[in-house]
Structure 1
Amino acid sequence: MAAGRTGAGSVKRKQGWTLLLLALPFIAVVFVFYYVPLFGWVYGFFDYKPGIPLNRSEFVGLKYLRIAFTEQEMDLARVLKNSLALSFLGILVSPLYVAFAILLNEMRGKLLRKWVQVTTTLPNFISWVLVYSVFYVFFAVSDGVVNNVLIKLEWLARPFNFLGNSEIAWGFQTLVGLWKGLGWGAIIYLAAIAGIDQELYDAAKVDGAGRFRTIWHITVPGIMPTFVVLLLLNVSNMLNNGFEQYYVFYNALVADKLDVIDYYVYRVGLENNDFSYSTVLGMFKTIVSVVVLFTVNGIAKRIRGESII
């Protein structure tokens, strides 16, 4: 028996080393693209100007951090407000991914279900430039399809500027993100549904439970742990709104609502050539995100009895 356990342990160790070797290239990519750039944070402590070597730049310490919270505090407050508001709206619509996954799972027609899933997943692979082109065709003021239809139906007296109205900018961008990511976001919930024990559904049918009761008492509780983990990760990632979406939809009419922290860092660093200040802003976002992540992880550990990281 001892020899058998030793042999099994040896096989497991061999498999472990094999898996580690397979993972090494991906670990190297993560290190190169996510950890090596952290050395660039040193620019935030120097008065760096393009074309001048860093060792000849003046060391200014926390000067740009003080600027962020004194001279530029209004801009920083506005950017943080936009980032948090858009992230909160994204979290608010996150149950729709669960609902869509459940509806897909309940569709009886196999071909129709596959068609719907493929159709709703494809937008995730479309670049944001093409997404903007699609929405411009539909929602442009002058010749947009939506405005033309609504005016012909006499629901609007004059064209409505969907892409340039700051009052609806947050909601409109949330719907754009939902359209682009609905099918892709539902995949992980479909996987969670597939992992639910089929015997539970069979027992429910024997007990006379209908489709709605089966969903409510078996499917929803079965995928709730997955939803909670993803929700907590989204909460900890609230400052990472992304860049591409707000870059392509940004214009002067909605500038006050779509200027999120990632786009603000881009404007300060690359458009204004203030690399030191933009580096400090990026550092601030990273540090706050890490703090929020570990805070949420602690809350999850208290509530669920286990951490998410």
Structure 2
Amino acid sequence: MKLYPIEAGNFKLDGGAMFGVVPKSLWHKTNPADSNNMIDIAARCLLIEDNNRLILIDTGMGDKQNDKFFGYYYLWGDDSIDKSLKKYGFHRDDITDVFMTHLHFDHCGGSIQWNKDRTGYEPAFKNAHFWSNSAHWQWATQPNNREKASFLKENILPMEASGQLKFTALPEQKLLKNTALGFDIFFANGHTEKQMIPMINYQGKTICFMADLLPTAGHLPLPYVMGYDTRPLLTLDEKETFLNLAADNNYYLFLEHDAHHEIITVKHTEKGVRLNEIFTCDDIFN
């Protein structure tokens, strides 16, 4: 097995929204904001090369929305999925599976693109299966008013229409082991219904793709919960459970949204689980 970070593009989000009720005087120490109160956010995806499979976890925003839409997110840098894939000798047509932690636009938008004459949409990975789960799919396709702006039908419905959509099983508890994709999945419901956190066994290490359960290293303290989370009290419990596991077992936490920290480990302290070590992907994957 080989792992590759795939940078899908950087953007900015409001720091207050990213930290909920936590005052700026606290969160700005780890996630400094610009004059518009916006903080740096990455869309760092992960490519798994395992025998004859190439599994891409999440796909970023994509590029099919209009300028007004992207204007809200202050895109910066020149990273893209295609550039990142090319760096490692791959093309999007090589991808066999696209695993989506959840269907918010900044995690799955790159899965679907305009067709050639811009009359409709088509899969951006024509040879891949798209993986979600039935509970989250229903949640995303019949969205509540709180999340409606994050579940964009043009990102979601074409997956089903293409015939390329597949669902993982749903666990009786939080953890689904020995999946068809070759990694375990931790299910979390605080941010959105049935968000999936891949846990990958790699060279004796457990690499956890943290998605929105832990957006950045600055979110390690338990009360540091995003304003975007639909069930913040549940996020508190899920973070505590997962971070204790991570500290006990020395998990390597791959941070999708932290523009400045790629992988971290955590440790137990008197204040709770806190940052231990910081790594680049090259440190761990090479």
Considering the TM-score relative to the shorter chain, is it more than 0.5? Answer: no
More helix by share: 1
Q: Which has the higher strand share?
A: 2
| TM-score between both structures, scaled by the size of structure 2 | 0.22
Larger Rg: 1
The structure showing larger relative contact order (alpha-carbon pairs under 8 Å, at least 6 residues apart) is 1
